[in-house]
Amino acid sequence: MANHKSALKRIRSSEKKRIANRYYAKTMRNALRDFRALEDKAAAEEKLPKLLSSIDKLAKRSVIHKNKASNLKSKCMKRIASL
């Protein structure tokens, strides 16, 4: 266990950030799952900007890696094109 006041604070803040990051990552994964399930091109195009925005925000905050974000966005665009 940590002995210094600053280390105890770091533990508390890290835990809060970990929980927040898990929430945002899970929300993005659920949005991605719903997007992939869509069969209607118009509906998919409507949901796409919000999904891409959330992926970009996670990459910016280093919740997911920037290359993973690029791969996910690319796959979303391919999915739209194939509908």
Q: Concatenate the DSSP letters of all residues of the chain into one string.
A: ---SHHHHHHHHHHHHHHHHHHHHHHHHHHHHHHHHH---HHHHHHHHHHHHHHHHHHHHTTSS-HHHHHHHHHHHHHHHHH-
User: Over the stretch 7-58, which tens digit does the pLDDT of each residue have?
Assistant: 999 999 999 999 999 999 999 999 999 999 999 999 999 999 999 999 999 9
Q: What is the value of pTM for the model shown?
A: 0.86
Q: Is the pLDDT of residue 61 over 90?
A: yes
CA angle 29, 30, 31 (to 5 degrees): 90
Q: Is the pLDDT of residue 62 over 80?
A: yes
Q: How many CB atoms lie within 10 A of CB 41?
A: 13
What was the pLDDT predicted at 1?
A: 73
